[in-house]
Amino acid sequence: AVREFFGSSQLSQFMDQTNPLSEITHKRRLSALGPGGLTRERAGFEVRDVHPTHYGRICPIETPEGPNIGLINSLATFARVNKYGFIESPYRKIVGGKLTNEVVYLSAMEEAKHYVAQANAELDKNGSFVDEFVICRNAGEVMMAPRENVDLMDVSPKQM
């Protein structure tokens, strides 16, 4: 059964070992195709398009051109897959209005409950927000929120 899976399954591929970068990229690849997934012919624009829950989890840039566009993607730079198969993104906690060094990984469902500031939001030397209102994300929407409401911050400006 194991030999059959690795030899003939639609989910099995030979490793791209042209160079170290291509190998890492291949290992971080995500597919919506195959058994239990979609077919190229039946996948519409809404499936292929970028969704707010992809932020920090699925790279919006790295996808092939042609019939597989949006169906084959890659994990974002800081993303990881948890033991239940959910893609998680890292955030720094804000406690009492001050940024901490504690990093938590959240799924898209967990993130929706929080106000998440961008990593480049201006902070003072104590780790508190300088501005009264901060650009942040909440439940998939980008908004200006009072700094008291913000409880998480992206770990890097490259986290998209």
Which residue, 134, 83, 138, is CA-closest to 108?
A: 138
pTM: 0.85
Which of the residue ranges 80-84, 116-120, 155-159 would you say has the lowest mean pLDDT?
A: 155-159
Quick check: 33 pLDDT over 90? no
Do the beta carbons of residue 29 and residue 87 sit within 8 Å? no
Top-tier CATH class for 88-154:
mainly beta
Q: State the CB neighbour count (10 A cutoff) for residue 78.
A: 19
* Structure tokens given for 24: 């890492």
Which residue, 25, 31, 37, is CA-closest to 12?
A: 31
Quick check: 15 pLDDT over 80? no
Spans of all domains in the chain: 1-76, 88-154
